[in-house]
Structure 1
């Protein structure tokens, strides 16, 4: 007894199929390029390693015409909170601009890093429900600058120029008891004691001293009054010849 091969289409369900994945990618890429007037998308990757060559973090994505996209972004757990995620994204955006991109897109789950992309200037364009655990898939978009921005320096451990004191240091200790520059006198010291009794330069006369006229006529006294001088004798008529 022989088994006849199927004469119609055959539907198979299985696990990973690399040949199938490559064929689908080729077919869809050709269709998309024809519709958008673009070429085959280019791959994009950014990575950073430590002094031992171990991977600190990395980013993979693509560039399709004027649109750049991020597929995956990851930073090693012990090197997070050092700014590596921002530097990886910045490097990817700069490379995208260099290759002619004007826009960038990325998606992230609600439990991953939506706030991270918002801080980098991305705006939310939509959400998809149905993610396990009641989460959502959030889509972001950003308009890229027309000129590349300067790269950020690699993060290092901050080295303060001078450690901050734990206790405030005064340049001069404050005295416990006030020290006046000059003691204040307990009793006022006048430069000259005031006199207790006024001292006049010349005492006024107690009684006026009038000048008494002479009691005896004195014709020769220059100060004698006219009435003190006796009257002249009456003239005598001349004698007859």
Structure 2
């Protein structure tokens, strides 16, 4: 192998480099694996002034919906906005041919929220006892659509 240099990427360039790596990985996967409808979509909820009160970012791959991000402003939390965003994302995923959805969260309240929407745990990452951040958990969750 010829000389190869490995270096950390400056923060200013990290988005562009990450996009290049992701594009090349997806191209490689597409050449090796049967593909489905791969889509990315974003939902936003706004008030009458246009202020964003919540939103969801998701993508589909191999007939699965991945909910990447869900956020609801504290001022409207508990009013059903998060549920509506997730349900709309699931509806769109079904339209795109998805069979199931998955996500991950490290927030206990969010974990309970997703359980209430029918998601179930399929994995948990936890730090060992007596180590820094020993109470931290990350739940990986899924739901049949």
Q: TM-score w.r.t. structure 2 length?
A: 0.85
Between the aligned partners of 1:14 and 1:36, the Cα distance in structure 2 is 30
Task: Report the CA distance between 1:83 and its aligned residue.
Answer: 0.8
CA-to-aligned-CA distance 1:153-198 (integer Å, 9 cap, x gap)? xxxxxxxxxxxxxxxxxxxxxxxxxxxxxxxxxxxxxxxxxxxxxx
Aligned to 2:35: 38
Aligned to 2:133: 133
Aligned counterpart for 2:113 among listed residues 110, 113, 116: 116
Task: Report the CA distance between 1:39 and its aligned residue.
Answer: 5.1
Which 5+ residue runs of structure 1 have no aligned equivalent? 1-6, 145-241
> Which portions of structure 1, spanning 4 or more consecutive aligned residues, are displaced by more than 4 angstroms?
none
CA RMSD of aligned residues (A): 2.1
Aligned to 1:9: 4
Instruction: Flag the structure with larger Rg.
Output: 1
Q: Size of the alignment, in residue pairs? A: 138
Aligned counterpart for 1:18 among listed residues 15, 20, 35: 15
Which 5+ residue runs of structure 2 have no aligned equivalent? none
Aligned counterpart for 2:84 among listed residues 68, 71, 87: 87
Aligned to 1:192: none
**Conservation of the 8 A alpha-carbon contact between 2:37 and 2:97:** no
CA-to-aligned-CA distance 1:107-138 (integer Å, 9 cap, x gap)? 00044511111111111000112497331111
Instruction: Say which structure is richer in helix.
Output: 2
**Conservation of the 8 A alpha-carbon contact between 1:65 and 1:100:** no
Greater relative contact order, per chain length (Cα 8 Å cut-off, separation 6+): 2
CA gap of 1:142–1:40, structure 2 versus 1, over 3 A, is: closer
Q: TM-score w.r.t. structure 1 length?
A: 0.53
**Conservation of the 8 A alpha-carbon contact between 1:47 and 1:58:** yes
